[in-house]
A and B are shown apart, each in its own frame.
Chain A
Amino acid sequence: MIALVDCNNFFVSCERVFRPDLEGKAVVVLSNNDGCVVSRSNESKAMGIRMGTPFFQIRHLVDNGSLKAYSSNYALYGDLSDRVMSILADTVPRIEVYSIDEAYLHLEGIPDEKIPVMCRELVVKIRKWVGIPVSVGLAPTKTLAKISSHFAKRHKGYRGVCMMDTEEKMLKALKLTPIDEVWGIGRKLAPKMKDWGIATAYDFVQRPEEWVSSRLGVNGLRTWKELQGIECIEEENEQRRKTICTSRSFADMIEDEQELSLRVSDFAAVCAQKLRKEGSAAGLVTVFLYTNRFRDDLVQYFPSLSLKLGVAANSTHDIVGTALKALKLIYRSGYKYKKAGVIVSDIVPSDSVQGSLFDFDEELRQKMDRLSAVMDEVNSSGTSVLRLASQRSGHYADGIRSEFRSPLYTTSLDEIIEVH
């Protein structure tokens, strides 16, 4: 049995922890740059607001007071996500963090009859400790657990936990699940499925194995088996590299911040390129500096700092920007630096990245992808010639719009809640 724990309307729920008065009200969270809707409360869903709706189309609702909109506050969402994940990790033998708001629980060694009670306790505990509502889907495979969590979320009667433990329940759920909601089918395949007369997950598993493998190949077959309770999706990150490091000792020691920024930008850009090459994205960027430890006559300083990305990323823009932020925080003048490096970690498959721009701000995502692709192509000639402006100038333009950002309640002591 495997469990998928999914935070309900995660970004909106994060905002509500510190604004309890927004419970029961229509709330949305906007993507980077306040472009479009990336998270909706049930009330705003009921108003007909869809995922990805451009902000300008709903601005009048905010102005007339019927809708509350927030800019993305990834520092807050990342922190609350860590809290949820740590509670899960303390409870079960092994968890697999799938995205900022989802994790699989591997339940080896826990007797089946104890699992639902344990999961229900988790739902209550996470709500109480962190303030976040979660749903749990239990099933024999990951693909089914995902479907199961949808049921747990949509139907109040489950009280947050849905267990798909009999053949009968499984078939019933498959009949009620539109094919485009199945994990692994996605937006690209959905129209084809319609052409083939497949409307639900149940229709899909009725097709013979040969039919599926000839049309959809290995991946389609995997989904087909998973839907029938045959486990085939392995833990995804294992064969991927856990960290990527790019560093270098300098021929001459470097004291100047501009000069260091240039080098660090280059290292970060190489890391980003490697991430894209292996189809992954990183959630954490670390920058470190070494002075020359063999020079007793000089003052020594070996700082390092890790910054979390709101959403795992692999674009040159994101990785370089974050690395430069970290550098700015650790750089001190008056030292002669001999070595610097960038490490990216918390690596996940890039297709599992959920949240802001990857899924919904399609235009921005495509722009980033195109930019990165062009850079990869030009740079693959061997000499790095194409760079972001920041790689040259050492300045990172942080011109992201966030008109309605909530305070950094958990990551900045200056912005904690006020208590009267």
Chain B
Amino acid sequence: MMAQEGIHAGFPSPATDYMTQAIDLNKELVRHPAATFYGRVVGDSMIDAGVDEGDILVIDRSLDPRDGDMAVCFINGEFTLKYLKFRPHLELLPANDRYPAIVVREGDDFKIWGVVTYVIKKVR
């Protein structure tokens, strides 16, 4: 018959001994795990800020958006990555001359979804 044992504190793994203080990017890049989400960049509207298609965004929803932050916004049915400009009125600024600034108007279905804290780029 099978051996059955009640285990109360997990089972010993031989790997535990080696898991010490190595750099943990999860800890460094994700300050608020409960509020952190990821997004994939599509298009080139932020190319002059060094953000290219395919890059991964680390988005921290716990942060209060400030003027000049790069943020993921939801406007009229789509997520968009732009710089926030609050004064004199709310605008979303691209980092590419070929795109116009988006002025947020009353009646737009608009939401600042989360502030971007890191951009992860695959270089090889």
Contacts and interface: CB of A to CB of B under 8 A. Distances in A.
Interface of A: 20-21, 83-84, 86-87, 128-131, 241-249, 266-267, 270, 288, 293, 302, 304, 341, 343, 409-410, 413, 416-420
Interface in B59-80: 61-62, 72, 74, 77-80
Contacts of B72: 417, 419
Central interface residue in B7, B13, B15, by most chain A CB within 10 Å: B7
Contacts, number: 96
Contact of B34 (A129, A245, A302): A129
A420 B78 contact: yes
Contacts of A343: 7, 11
A242 B8 contact: yes
A159 to B, nearest CB: 20
Interface size class of B (residues with CB under 8 A): 35 or more
19 contacts: A83-B33, A87-B34, A128-B62, A130-B35, A130-B61, A242-B8, A243-B6, A246-B2, A246-B4, A266-B2, A267-B2, A304-B13, A409-B37, A416-B38, A416-B39, A417-B40, A417-B79, A418-B42, A419-B41
B107 interface: no
A418 B79 contact: yes
Contacts of B25: none
Contacts of B34: 83-84, 86-87, 129-130
Interface in B10-28: 11, 13-15
Contacts of B39: 416-419
Nearest to A88: B34
Given A20-B109, A21-B109, A129-B34, A418 B14 contact: no
Contact of A419 (B2, B7, B11, B80): B80
B81 interface: yes
B95 interface: no
Nearest to A24: B109
B4 to A, nearest CB: 5
A278 to B, nearest CB: 12
A134 to B, nearest CB: 13
B106 interface: no
Contact of A420 (B2, B14, B81, B113): B81
Contact of A245 (B11, B14, B32, B37): B11
B79 A419 contact: yes
A20 B6 contact: no
B56 interface: yes
Interface of B: 2-8, 11, 13-15, 32-35, 37-43, 45, 56-57, 61-62, 72, 74, 77-81, 109, 111, 113
A131 B4 CA distance: 43
A416 B7 CA distance: 36
A247 B14 contact: no
A229 to B, nearest CB: 33
Question: Which label, helix, strand, loop or mixed, suits the secondary structure of the A interface?
Answer: mixed
Contacts of A244: 6
A129 B35 contact: yes
B62 to A, nearest CB: 5
Given A288-B11, A413-B38, A418-B42, A270 B2 contact: yes
Contacts of A86: 33-34
Nearest to B3: A248
Nearest to B15: A302
Contacts of B38: 410, 413, 416-417
A402 B2 CA distance: 37
A19 B16 CA distance: 40
A335 B86 CA distance: 60
Contacts of A248: 2-3
A242 B81 CA distance: 45
Given A128-B61, A270-B2, A416-B40, 7 more contacts: A130-B34, A243-B6, A246-B4, A247-B4, A249-B3, A266-B2, A419-B81
Central interface residue in A84, A249, A293, A341, by most chain B CB within 10 Å: A341
Contacts of A247: 2-5
Contacts of B80: 419-420
Contacts of A420: 42-43, 45, 78-81
Contacts of A419: 39-42, 57, 72, 79-81
Nearest to A343: B7
